[in-house]
Amino acid sequence: MAIKKVIENPANVLSTPCAEVTEINDEIITLLDDLYDTMVEYDGVGIAAPQIDVGLRVAIVELGEERDILEMINPTVVETDGAEVDIEGCLSFPGLYGEVERPSYVKIEACDREGRVYELEAGGFDARAILHEIDHLDGVLFDSKIKRIVTAEELEEMYAEEEE
């Protein structure tokens, strides 16, 4: 387990579709653990393998209030529904925040670290986080989906209003 350097845009590894994982071995387990350590260190809510310079379809996200860790190996989107606009950021784009439209519901299929295939349904911000990470695995970056950039001042104002 180790904290890795987060690759920042622009970088080839970020804009290239990742390869499928063909075998869940020690390398993949270490990758999952490194992703977790790096996400915690950089205070993210999700991170994908290309962000630590590994071109494989592996990503993790924190879900819900409990911030449970979801590990996704070879995830695919089975179904989406609805649409919602909310603010996103990305560890590979320090300081960039913007409004992005995403489905408000997603159903995915993926493998866990034991090699078990699971299905998972998520809504709201969880769905957003999952889809943001799966986009990374397809070489798609959130800046291409930003409808409106949100400035640091606006963000501060929003947080201030939330605390009131």
Window of 11-19, 83-91, 107-115, 120-128 that interacts with Co ion by CB under 5 A: 83-91
Is 90 an interacting residue with respect to Co ion (CB under 5 A)?
yes
d(CA 30, CA 38): 12
Residue 66, φ and ψ in degrees, nearest 5: -75, -10
Q: In whole angstroms, how close is the CB of 125 to Co ion at the nearest point?
A: 14
CB atoms within 10 A of CB 33: 15
**Considering only 57-65, 67-75, 85-93, 113-121, which stretch makes contact with Co ion by CB under 5 A?**
85-93
Query: Measured from the CB of residue 47, what is the shortest distance to Co ion in angstroms?
Result: 7
* In the chain, alpha helices (H): 12-15, 26-42, 124-137, 152-163
Q: Is 119 part of the annotated catalytic residue set?
A: no
Does 90 show up as a binding residue in the annotation? yes
27-44-46-30 Cα dihedral, nearest 10 degrees: 10
Question: Is 111 a binder of Co ion (CB under 5 A)?
Answer: no
List residues forming the annotated binding site for Fe cation. Answer: 90, 132, 136
Which residues contact Co ion by CB under 5 A? 90
Active-site residues: which are they?
Answer: 133
List residues forming the annotated binding site. Answer: 90, 132, 136
